[in-house]
Protein backbone atom coordinates (compact mmCIF):
# COMPACT_ATOMS: atom_id res chain seq x y z
CA UNK A 1 0.00 0.00 0.00
CA UNK A 2 1.32 3.44 -0.84
CA UNK A 3 0.26 7.03 -1.21
CA UNK A 4 0.86 8.86 -4.46
CA UNK A 5 -0.27 12.48 -4.28
CA UNK A 6 -4.06 12.47 -4.08
CA UNK A 7 -4.27 8.72 -4.65
CA UNK A 8 -3.96 5.69 -2.41
CA UNK A 9 -2.82 2.51 -4.13
CA UNK A 10 -3.16 -1.02 -2.82
CA UNK A 11 -1.37 -3.69 -4.85
CA UNK A 12 -1.33 -7.46 -4.55
CA UNK A 13 1.13 -9.53 -6.55
CA UNK A 14 2.13 -13.17 -6.71
CA UNK A 15 4.91 -15.02 -8.47
CA UNK A 16 2.74 -16.54 -11.18
CA UNK A 17 2.94 -15.67 -14.86
CA UNK A 18 0.13 -13.15 -14.49
CA UNK A 19 -2.68 -12.12 -16.78
CA UNK A 20 -1.93 -12.10 -20.50
CA UNK A 21 -1.96 -8.63 -22.08
CA UNK A 22 -4.98 -9.48 -24.25
CA UNK A 23 -7.03 -10.61 -21.22
CA UNK A 24 -6.38 -7.62 -18.94
CA UNK A 25 -9.72 -5.89 -19.53
CA UNK A 26 -11.84 -9.06 -19.65
CA UNK A 27 -10.40 -10.44 -16.40
CA UNK A 28 -12.62 -7.95 -14.50
CA UNK A 29 -15.79 -9.21 -16.20
CA UNK A 30 -18.12 -11.65 -14.48
CA UNK A 31 -17.31 -15.31 -15.13
CA UNK A 32 -14.56 -14.60 -17.65
CA UNK A 33 -12.70 -17.79 -18.57
CA UNK A 34 -12.89 -21.25 -17.05
CA UNK A 35 -11.58 -20.42 -13.57
CA UNK A 36 -13.02 -16.95 -13.01
CA UNK A 37 -16.06 -15.99 -11.01
CA UNK A 38 -17.33 -12.78 -9.50
CA UNK A 39 -14.37 -11.74 -7.33
CA UNK A 40 -12.55 -9.36 -9.67
CA UNK A 41 -15.81 -7.94 -11.02
CA UNK A 42 -16.77 -7.06 -7.43
CA UNK A 43 -13.35 -5.52 -6.82
CA UNK A 44 -13.65 -3.30 -9.90
CA UNK A 45 -17.25 -2.27 -9.12
CA UNK A 46 -16.37 -1.40 -5.52
CA UNK A 47 -13.33 0.67 -6.54
CA UNK A 48 -15.38 2.54 -9.15
CA UNK A 49 -18.17 3.28 -6.65
CA UNK A 50 -15.57 5.03 -4.51
CA UNK A 51 -14.23 7.10 -7.41
CA UNK A 52 -11.30 4.81 -8.14
CA UNK A 53 -10.34 1.99 -10.43
CA UNK A 54 -8.88 -1.50 -10.48
CA UNK A 55 -6.09 -2.49 -12.84
CA UNK A 56 -3.87 -5.46 -13.59
CA UNK A 57 -0.30 -5.53 -14.85
CA UNK A 58 0.99 -9.07 -15.23
CA UNK A 59 0.64 -10.69 -11.81
CA UNK A 60 0.01 -7.41 -9.96
CA UNK A 61 -3.53 -6.24 -9.24
CA UNK A 62 -3.93 -2.66 -8.02
CA UNK A 63 -6.85 -0.73 -6.54
CA UNK A 64 -6.50 3.03 -6.83
CA UNK A 65 -8.68 5.32 -4.71
CA UNK A 66 -8.84 9.08 -4.26
CA UNK A 67 -7.53 10.07 -0.84
CA UNK A 68 -9.44 12.44 1.41
CA UNK A 69 -7.89 15.89 1.93
CA UNK A 70 -7.06 15.09 5.57
CA UNK A 71 -5.27 11.88 4.52
CA UNK A 72 -3.31 13.67 1.78
CA UNK A 73 -1.89 16.13 4.27
CA UNK A 74 -0.73 13.38 6.66
CA UNK A 75 1.15 11.22 4.13
CA UNK A 76 3.57 12.78 1.64
CA UNK A 77 3.42 11.59 -1.98
CA UNK A 78 5.07 8.23 -2.53
CA UNK A 79 5.24 7.35 1.17
CA UNK A 80 4.73 3.70 1.98
CA UNK A 81 1.86 3.15 4.42
CA UNK A 82 2.33 0.60 7.16
CA UNK A 83 0.00 -2.38 7.18
CA UNK A 84 -2.96 -1.75 9.46
CA UNK A 85 -2.07 1.91 10.11
CA UNK A 86 -3.63 5.04 8.54
Q: Is residue 8, in this structure, part of any structural domain at all?
A: yes
**Which pLDDT score is estimated for 68?**
80
Structural domain of 41 = 2-70
Q: Is residue 86, in this structure, part of any structural domain at all?
A: no
Q: Is residue 75, in this structure, part of any structural domain at all?
A: no
Q: Is residue 84, in this structure, part of any structural domain at all?
A: no
Write the pLDDT tens digit of every residue in 29-82.
Answer: 888 776 668 988 999 999 999 999 999 999 999 999 998 876 445 555 555 554
The CATH number given to whatever domain includes residue 66 is 3.30.565.10
Query: Residue 19: how many CB atoms within 10 A of its CB?
Result: 20
Write the pLDDT tens digit of every residue in 1-30.
Answer: 999 899 999 999 999 889 888 888 888 988
Beta-strand ranges (E) seen in 1-86 are 2-4, 7-13, 53-57, 60-66
Q: Is residue 11, in this structure, part of any structural domain at all?
A: yes
Q: Is residue 80, in this structure, part of any structural domain at all?
A: no
Q: Is residue 40, in this structure, part of any structural domain at all?
A: yes
CA 3 to chain centroid, in Å, comes to 13
Q: Is residue 78, in this structure, part of any structural domain at all?
A: no
Amino acid sequence: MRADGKRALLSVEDEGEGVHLLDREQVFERFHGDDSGLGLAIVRATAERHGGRATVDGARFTIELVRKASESSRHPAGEELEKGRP
